[in-house]
């Protein structure tokens, strides 16, 4: 199954192999990236049509890409797997997240040690706990779309661990931070290491450990005033869109103000 996006590196604008080609050839290489991301297999006739070029131009393109070392004879991109990551796939992220939870559930304590079921190697309790928290931190950062280095992963792991100690589990703590992160991104905040160290995943009044978060044993639920503010912003945005519409559209779809009956926004 293809992915919705792929990694496109800024070195494109300075790579001699790319920049020595004409702009039409560069465009075709980008189109080939898109096809590979969709895991699309095209016959050469279909590829020529898709790129809006003639069979002769397609043959010229293939010869150039082969010479540059971009593809093999079957149009397979040679360095694709080296530049794209398995973690970029949401399916793979969910699989690894669930696998990590499943592994943590199969650990058994024996005289101060934990042994992984089915494996001969043993690890200490603290090591296994850290591994589970790191797995959750990686999942959290990937879901938020954060490009993270080791320092960011470390503070994210610490945030999950500290929040879990206040109640709930590491899984519910990571879910709590994820929901807070989604709201932060929607509000225009940048999720980085300082977002975690400043504990911006807590409600404003709860930062610096002043009091415990209200919800840790179940997924995050916004406060009533948060819901009201979000609805107000959505209605303002809807009105802006409606105001920019044509007179014919406005006449056919009059704007209804928000009301307790649930009516609101254009009909």
- pLDDT value for 24: 94
Q: By percentage, how much of the chain surpasses pLDDT 90?
A: 19
Confidence of residue 235 (pLDDT cuts 50, 70, 90): confident
The C-alpha atoms of residue 249 and residue 149 are separated, in whole angstroms, by 49
Residue 103 reports pLDDT greater than 80: no
Task: Say which range, 79-83, 85-89, 258-262, has the weakest mean pLDDT.
Answer: 258-262
Q: Please, what sign has the CA dihedral across residues 92, 95, 96, 97?
A: positive
Q: By percentage, how much of the chain surpasses pLDDT 70?
A: 68
Q: Which residue has the higher pLDDT, 195 or 132?
A: 195
- pLDDT value for 237: 72
pLDDT tens-place string over residues 138-188: 888 888 888 778 888 888 998 998 888 887 788 888 888 998 998 888 888
- pLDDT value for 168: 76
Where does residue 219 fall: left (phi above 0), alpha (psi -120 to 50 degrees), or beta otherwise? Answer: beta
Residue 199 reports pLDDT greater than 70: yes
Q: Please, what sign has the CA dihedral across residues 239, 243, 247, 249?
A: negative
* Average pLDDT of the residues in 74-96: 71
Phi and psi at residue 110, in whole multiples of 5°? Answer: -135, 110
Strand ranges for the chain from DSSP E: 107-110, 113-116, 122-124, 255-256, 265-266
- pLDDT value for 66: 94
Mean pLDDT of all residues belonging to the chain: 74
Residue 209 reports pLDDT greater than 50: no
Residue 88 reports pLDDT greater than 80: no
- pLDDT value for 25: 95
Instruction: Give the Cβ contact number of residue 263 at 10 Å.
Output: 10
Q: Map out the domains of the chain as residue ranges.
A: 10-83, 86-209, 236-266
- pLDDT value for 203: 73
Residue 115 reports pLDDT greater than 50: no
Residue 112 reports pLDDT greater than 50: no
Instruction: Give the Cβ contact number of residue 29 at 10 Å.
Output: 20
């Amino acid at each position: 199954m293809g992915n919705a996006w792929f990694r496109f590196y800024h070195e494109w604008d300075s790579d001699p192999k790319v920049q020595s080609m004409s702009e039409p050839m560069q465009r075709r290489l980008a189109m080939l990236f898109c096809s590979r991301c969709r895991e699309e297999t095209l016959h050469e006739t279909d590829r020529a049509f898709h790129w809006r070029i003639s069979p002769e131009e397609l043959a010229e393109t293939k010869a150039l890409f082969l010479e540059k070392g971009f593809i093999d004879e079957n149009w397979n991109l040679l360095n694709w797997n080296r530049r794209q990551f398995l973690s970029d796939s949401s399916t793979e992220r969910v699989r690894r997240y669930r696998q990590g939870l499943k592994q943590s559930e199969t650990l058994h304590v024996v005289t101060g040690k934990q042994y992984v079921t089915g494996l001969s190697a043993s690890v200490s309790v603290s090591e296994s706990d850290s591994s589970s928290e790191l797995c959750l931190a990686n999942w959290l950062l990937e879901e938020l779309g954060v490009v993270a280095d080791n320092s960011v992963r470390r503070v994210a792991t610490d945030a999950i661990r500290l929040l879990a100690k206040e109640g709930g589990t590491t899984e519910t703590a990571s879910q709590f931070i994820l929901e807070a992160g989604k709201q932060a991104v929607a509000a225009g905040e940048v999720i980085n290491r300082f977002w975690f160290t400043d504990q911006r995943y807590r409600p404003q009044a709860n930062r610096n450990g002043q009091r415990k978060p209200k919800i840790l044993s179940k997924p995050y639920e916004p406060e009533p005033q948060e819901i009201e503010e979000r609805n107000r912003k959505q209605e303002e945005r809807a009105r802006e869109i409606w105001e920019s519409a044509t007179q014919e559209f406005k006449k056919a779809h009059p704007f209804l103000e928000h009301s307790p009956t649930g009516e609101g926004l254009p009909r």
